[in-house]
Amino acid sequence: MKILSWNVNGIRAAVKNGIIKTLENENPDIILLQEAKADKMDIPEELHHTGYKIYVNPADKKGYSGTMAMAKQEPLSYTTGTGENNKDVEGRIQTLEYDNFYLINSYFPNSQHGLTRLDYKIQFNREILEYMDKLKAKKPVIITGDFNVAHEEIDIARPKGNEKNAGFTIEERDSMTEILSHGYVDTYRYFHKEPGHYSWWSYRFNAREKNIGWRIDYFLVSDNFIGKVEDSLILENVTGSDHAPLELILKQ
């Protein structure tokens, strides 16, 4: 089974930039997209002819944030947000339930320039971790998406120059450590120990060509599920967004 995850920076832009060709080349069973910036009515017509069932969780604010899932196999259940009392106004969370796992598509907040949303982000992290743990008590959890944090120095090209910047503050990194400490495995780092691999590059200063990047997109799995994972990849050569897509391959 192959699961693809990608911050596409707008689904309409992604279609123009060749996402359908990527889907044809990779042929994933499930595609989870972040920052879709669209509601159901805005999904390009071409995507409705790809053989996938489409699930959209838009933000209340038009053209902002939002998540989207495309699945060949219909899930046992589909929900948005983290529970009845927590309305997902920014469209950041989708959960697809399958026989052997819960699959969460997530778009974590950016703490923003000047760290104006740092407190909001840390609170979001706490709430989604509580939600993950609640699901994990029933069956294994896979969570993927743009976490908007480079966890360790190996995950960023220039750690020293970014220590107080959004996405690499000690508060965000500690929060990521807290998530992992609850029994979750960073699948990419489990299989790939070497530095120099990133999932996001600024559009400025030819950062992607120079590989001045950040690894801020993840596939985490419950620690009792890591044996079911065959590999976890960053498709660094696939363009069309400022993020590279991720790929999780599960054993038969």
What per-residue confidence (pLDDT) applies to 29? 98
What per-residue confidence (pLDDT) applies to 88? 94
Cα 14 to Cα 20: distance, rounded to the nearest angstrom: 8
Q: Is 132 exposed, middle or buried (0-12, 13-18, 19+ CB in 10 A)?
A: buried
Give ∠ CA 80-17-203 in degrees, rounded to 5: 85
User: Do 107 and 7 contact (CB within 8 A), yes or no?
Assistant: yes
CA separation (Å) from 70 to 28, 34, 121, 203, 223? 10, 12, 26, 27, 26
What per-residue confidence (pLDDT) applies to 203? 95
Amino acid at position 106, single letter: S
Residue 146 counted as an annotated binding residue: yes
Dihedral sign for Cα atoms in the order 129, 133, 134, 136: positive
DSSP letter (8 states) at residue 165: S
Number of domains comprising the chain: 1
Show the low-confidence residues of the chain (pLDDT under 70): 84-85
Residue 152 counted as an annotated binding residue: no
User: What CATH number is attached to the domain comprising 66?
Assistant: 3.60.10.10
What per-residue confidence (pLDDT) applies to 84? 67
What per-residue confidence (pLDDT) applies to 252? 82
Tell me the residue range of the domain where 25 lies. 2-250
Residue 172 counted as an annotated binding residue: no
Residue 192 counted as an annotated binding residue: no
CA separation (Å) from 84 to 68, 91, 216? 20, 14, 28
What per-residue confidence (pLDDT) applies to 244? 98
CA separation (Å) from 189 to 154, 155, 208, 217, 220? 10, 9, 21, 12, 10
Residue 7 counted as an annotated binding residue: yes
Residue 148 counted as an annotated binding residue: yes
Question: Catalytic residue numbers?
Answer: 107, 146, 243
